[in-house]
Amino acid sequence: MMDHNWIAQFYMQIGVNLFVADYRGYGLSDGKPTVTNLIRDSHVIFKGFRKLIEEDEYESKLFVMGRSLGSIPAIELAYHYQESLKGLIVESGAANNFHRLWSYLEPSEIESLSVKKFLNKEKIKSVLIPTCIIHGELDQIIPVQEGLELHENSGAGDKDILIVSGADHNDLMIRGQRQYFAKIEEFVKKNS
């Protein structure tokens, strides 16, 4: 979470509050990073965050956003809590995540998962809330085709896509900073 402190200022400049959670075993979080934990934890974190907002009587115009591996829990939450969300933003997300993550699965996870239900491109078909996909044109980790597939498979009537020219996976926000934050600002304002 500490590595996201520098970015909060950019979200504040466009009038968006940012809440970031680490995966188990990443950043300052302990625990074992498994796919099951990633998905299970997303529900616990989302429910806890909603409770905090309600208790402190904050305005609850919630959007969920996931970057890269974070596209899995973001689409999972949008799939299950559409009535509580204003929109979904996916940055550098994978459509066919199951094959990329196979080596990270525990044997028991492999047996219990249905490939079709696990794939982002399958879940996003049932996500009807406004959806924005952002992807780097030259992404070498999750190719731009994955972002295009997510956009194509999205069930949202209101969906948008931004492909940042010349951007790779980890320089997307820097290379396309102006258009990146303009797109997020436009999307949030339009759907709040």
78-127: per-residue pLDDT in tens? Answer: 999 999 999 999 999 999 875 555 555 556 655 555 555 678 999 999 99
Distance between CA atoms of 130 and 63, rounded to whole angstroms? 10
- Which residues in the chain show pLDDT less than 70? 1-4, 98-117
Contact 180, 172 (CB under 8 A): yes
Q: How much is the pLDDT for 2?
A: 44
Strand ranges for the chain from DSSP E? 63-67, 87-91, 131-136, 159-164
CA distance 127 to 118: 14
Structure tokens at 92: 């550098």
- What's the rounded Cα separation, in Å, for the pair 179 and 84? 27
pLDDT for 126 equals 97
Mind listing the domains of the chain with CATH numbers?
A: 2-191 (3.40.50.1820)
**What's the CA angle centered on 65, arms 125 and 117, to 5 degrees?**
35
| Residue 110 pLDDT | 54
pLDDT value, residue 104: 57
What six digits make up the tokens of 54?
């309600």
Q: Supply 49's token pair.
A: 């965050």
Give me the pLDDT at residue 116, please: 52
Collapsing DSSP states into helix, strand and coil, what is residue 61?
Answer: coil
Q: DSSP character for 58?
A: -
Residue 143's pLDDT is what? 94
